[in-house]
Structure 1
Amino acid sequence: MKAKITQRSVEVAKAGAKPYEIRDTTLPGFLCRVQPSGRKSYVIEYARGRRMTIGNAAVLTPAQAREKAKEVLGQAAAGEDPGQERRRAKASTLRGFIEHEYRPWVRVHRKHGDAWCDVIMRVFASLADDPLASITQHKVEKVRTARLNAGIKPATVNRNVTCLRGALTHAVRSGYITEHPLADMASVDTDSSSKVRYLTADEARRLRAALQARDDEARTARVSANAWRKARSRPVLPAIPVGGYGDHLTPLVLVSLNTGARRGEMFSLEWPDVDFDLKQITIRGETSKKNRTRHVPLNAEALGALRQWRDQTGGQGLVFAGRGGERLDNVRKAWAGVLGDANITAFRWHDLRHTFASWLVMRGVDLNTVRELLGHGDIKMTLRYAHLAPQHKADAVAKLV
């Protein structure tokens, strides 16, 4: 709303269900913002999209706030950014920079931005109140060494430093510091190839058998339950067809195993993302880790599982939804039960993705194709599977003869 901002107009302004603003009719950009809580603040909009809070209306009079607003407008007219010094003051320390500058930016531009900021504040807590410009490679190295000595895995420590490195990169680009203190800091050496866990042929057979047994048990239980319901004139539940699934777990496992999709990508998969004609699924950018859309072909097992599941569920909304149609957040209990029945140990859900990649490499698929199917942004991530293709090394050495 528009009105001349006076003591009277501010006092009579009533709080509403949502925040609203009173824009002054005499000084452009000068306004009073009224919150649902009843708090009122004077604000000056000194450029398009740029504002500065002048103060609390319970402390300042309209005349005092108007004078401060004119000062800010004068600075803006002279080519200055009146809010810059205030922002720099708030972001002078690592903590201030993360909370007032980096977190708002990374929250919008990176999918896990908030989590990254939380990692920085937790891992580098000893540096949180240091001036941003005083952070050095030596200080970060001390934190890294202490974590390694505490038994933290090198890969985890590297990820921690990567989070901090990203924040400091933004600090350089934004002009808060002139040089990147970690520009020459190398990562801790890791042996990632030894950590790949994938299903052997026998384990895969046992896993499929355990899934089928689970579905058979659900089918038998459904028949028994419906007989009980009929005898009492109660509505029966949908029958589970022969070859069908007791719930979402089996098709979820089979599709994950044959596409290498991440758990979160599967939980967010919708039926329009499944193309039965082209025999592929689309992992949308907004649901992928790297914010990049990719298309993954479906082999016969994955395609058959999706067709059967579509026939059972109607093919609307999320492919693998919870009981109320909501997005799943985990399948821990059911997954642990199946692994126990299959006598498979030390195997995580993410290892289905490792299994997909490992099987491809062992069957002679080149690493770049595996990288594209997995959605890796860097071939370095895919190189962890290179040792599974020993024949390539043997062929190379044989050329010396």
Structure 2
Amino acid sequence: MGIYKRGKTWYIDYYDQYGRRHREKVGPNKRQAEQALAKRKIEVAENKFLDKKKHEKIKFKDFAQEFIEYYSKPNKRSWKRDTQLVNNLTAFLGHKCLHEITSFDIEKYKKERVKKVTSATVNRELSCLRNIYNRAIQWGKATRNPVKGVKFFKESEGRLRYLEQDEISRLLQECPYHLKPIVIVALNTGMRLGEILNLKWQDLDFNQKFIYIENSKNGEKREVPMNNFLLKMMAQLKETSNYGDYIFSHKDGSPLKGVYRSFKSACKRAGIKNFRFHDLRHTFASHLVMNGVDLKTVQELMGHKSFSMALRYAHLSPDHKRKAVEDLGNRMQKVVTIWSQKENLTNCQN
């Protein structure tokens, strides 16, 4: 690494973080050459150096496909969802090179996109875009993330539809044979439909009473406890299972499909309106809270990364607020009692 002069022009000579050698023309000023070399040293040390000659022609649409192929598919069960998000982003940004996209471009995308879809959908797309650039930086194909500093749309808390006990009974009565155990698993674990349908017998530990989800929506492993009722039902299913590794499968052993349609029909027969399969998760969490389970435990059982997600259910349990201040009151009463006793003893001694 160093600077050198040829004729009247100064050059810098350095190696990047990958061991590749680079020479750059700076100009007639030695001081500028020294400053340019110092800047490159910092970029290399912080792994932020980008060979513009090599990467300036990388189109966003091309890298986005690499993101799907080498990140989403191997790491996320929801990679098909990522593919749709990428398609939406590419329609607006795909013609630009990766390093050309600015925060202003993203602001324009927000403005145009929200005319066609909900703000929540735009936020999911921006989140995907942010993840794309994080991978690009990690893989040495970008030095900055233009999504950083861009404000996401404010979202409402969304719907919180759950079933009362009588609705649960009516739904289960109308579920066909193949659907009923799937619904029971959802009601007793809060698992997502995709997680349930991808369950294999090897994911169940009957001794420890746990279901192990290897790759959840968040891309992390998760342990889901089974209560005795669910444990007994799963054991009965295992005794009659003849179709391979998947717990819920077709006769050829492939994971069961068509559940949404079957579930919708069961809800209609049961007279239950405005209810999706995903709302069984809300039902699971809501009944936990109404039975006195604390919100931190609900967060863990639901597999939520953020505690704010569990706070959606707080209004269902005003008792936990009363209990909190009551516990504090009891502790305060003990302190005051001890203080009063000491005060009385002091007065007596005097």
The equivalent of 1:357 in structure 2 is 285
Answering whether residue 210 of structure 2 is matched by residue 210 of structure 1, we say: no
The one-letter code of the counterpart of 1:349 is F
Moved more, 263-272 or 119-128: 119-128
The equivalent of 2:95 in structure 1 is 129
Are the equivalent residues in 2 in contact too, given 1:269–1:319 (CA < 8 A)?
yes
The equivalent of 2:5 in structure 1 is none
The equivalent of 1:97 in structure 2 is 63
- The one-character-per-residue Cα deviations of 1:106-133 (angstroms, maximum 9, x if unpaired) are 2334444464244223235222112322
- The one-character-per-residue Cα deviations of 1:39-95 (angstroms, maximum 9, x if unpaired) are xxxxxxxxxxxxxxxxxxxxxxxxxxxxxxxxxxxxxxx95399x88862551x322
Report the Cα distance in structure 1 between the residues aligned to 2:60 and 2:272, rounded to whole angstroms.
45
Cα deviation for residue 161 of structure 1 reads 0.5
Are the equivalent residues in 2 in contact too, given 1:172–1:178 (CA < 8 A)?
yes
Aligned residues: 284
Q: Return the match for 2:294 from 338, 363, 366.
A: 366
Cα deviation for residue 377 of structure 1 reads 2.5
Are the equivalent residues in 1 in contact too, given 2:267–2:273 (CA < 8 A)?
yes
The equivalent of 1:310 in structure 2 is 238
Q: Return the match for 2:210 from 261, 280, 287.
A: 280
Are the equivalent residues in 2 in contact too, given 1:254–1:301 (CA < 8 A)?
no
The one-letter code of the counterpart of 2:307 is I
Q: Point out which structure has higher relative CO (alpha carbons under 8 A, 6+ apart).
A: 2
Report the Cα distance in structure 1 between the residues aligned to 2:21 and 2:80, rounded to whole angstroms.
27
Report the Cα distance in structure 2 between the residues aligned to 1:113 and 1:333, rounded to whole angstroms.
23
- The one-character-per-residue Cα deviations of 1:201-238 (angstroms, maximum 9, x if unpaired) are 22112112323xx5xxxxxxxxxxxxxxxxxxxxxxxx
Are the equivalent residues in 1 in contact too, given 2:189–2:225 (CA < 8 A)?
yes
The one-letter code of the counterpart of 1:96 is D
SS state at 1:195 partner: coil
The one-letter code of the counterpart of 2:133 is L
The one-letter code of the counterpart of 1:261 is M
Distance 1:89 1:379, change over 3 A: same
Cα deviation for residue 314 of structure 1 reads 5.4
Report the Cα distance in structure 2 between the residues aligned to 1:148 and 1:393, rounded to whole angstroms.
39
SS state at 1:186 partner: coil
Distance 1:172 1:279, change over 3 A: closer
- The one-character-per-residue Cα deviations of 1:161-182 (angstroms, maximum 9, x if unpaired) are 1001111122233343332222
- The one-character-per-residue Cα deviations of 1:271-309 (angstroms, maximum 9, x if unpaired) are 2322333333222x14x2233222222223322322332
- The one-character-per-residue Cα deviations of 1:146-203 (angstroms, maximum 9, x if unpaired) are 23233x22221111110011111222333433322221122211122x4111112221
CA RMSD for the aligned pairs? 3.1
Are the equivalent residues in 2 in contact too, given 1:259–1:296 (CA < 8 A)?
yes
Report the Cα distance in structure 1 between the residues aligned to 2:303 and 2:139, rounded to whole angstroms.
30
Q: Return the match for 2:127 from 153, 162, 165.
A: 162
Cα deviation for residue 259 of structure 1 reads 0.7
- The one-character-per-residue Cα deviations of 1:295-347 (angstroms, maximum 9, x if unpaired) are 22222332232233223335952211112221113313322221122111111
The equivalent of 2:252 in structure 1 is 324
Are the equivalent residues in 1 in contact too, given 2:203–2:212 (CA < 8 A)?
yes
Are the equivalent residues in 1 in contact too, given 2:56–2:99 (CA < 8 A)?
no
The equivalent of 1:260 in structure 2 is 190
Are the equivalent residues in 2 in contact too, given 1:255–1:305 (CA < 8 A)?
no
SS state at 1:196 partner: coil
Report the Cα distance in structure 1 between the residues aligned to 2:112 and 2:300, rounded to whole angstroms.
37
SS state at 1:149 partner: coil
Answering whether residue 152 of structure 2 is matched by residue 187 of structure 1, we say: yes
Structure 2 stretches of 5 or more lacking a match? 1-17, 23-50, 330-350
The equivalent of 1:149 in structure 2 is 115
Distance 1:132 1:333, change over 3 A: closer
Report the Cα distance in structure 2 between the residues aligned to 1:198 and 1:85, rounded to whole angstroms.
54
Report the Cα distance in structure 2 between the residues aligned to 1:365 and 1:210, rounded to whole angstroms.
30
Answering whether residue 236 of structure 2 is matched by residue 300 of structure 1, we say: no
The one-letter code of the counterpart of 2:120 is A
Are the equivalent residues in 2 in contact too, given 1:90–1:96 (CA < 8 A)?
no
The equivalent of 1:80 in structure 2 is 20
Q: Normalising to structure 1: TM-score of the pair?
A: 0.63
Are the equivalent residues in 1 in contact too, given 2:190–2:281 (CA < 8 A)?
yes
- The one-character-per-residue Cα deviations of 1:377-400 (angstroms, maximum 9, x if unpaired) are 332333332332233345567879
Are the equivalent residues in 2 in contact too, given 1:124–1:143 (CA < 8 A)?
no
The one-letter code of the counterpart of 2:155 is T
Structure 1 stretches of 5 or more lacking a match? 1-77, 215-246
Answering whether residue 317 of structure 2 is matched by residue 389 of structure 1, we say: yes
- The one-character-per-residue Cα deviations of 1:351-400 (angstroms, maximum 9, x if unpaired) are 11111111112222122212221222332333332332233345567879
Q: Normalising to structure 2: TM-score of the pair?
A: 0.71
- Report matched runs for 1:196-207 at 5 Å: 196-207=160-171
Cα deviation for residue 254 of structure 1 reads 0.7
The one-letter code of the counterpart of 2:211 is I
SS state at 2:212 partner: strand
Are the equivalent residues in 2 in contact too, given 1:361–1:385 (CA < 8 A)?
yes
Report the Cα distance in structure 1 between the residues aligned to 2:304 and 2:113, rounded to whole angstroms.
28
Distance 1:105 1:363, change over 3 A: same
Cα deviation for residue 141 of structure 1 reads 1.7
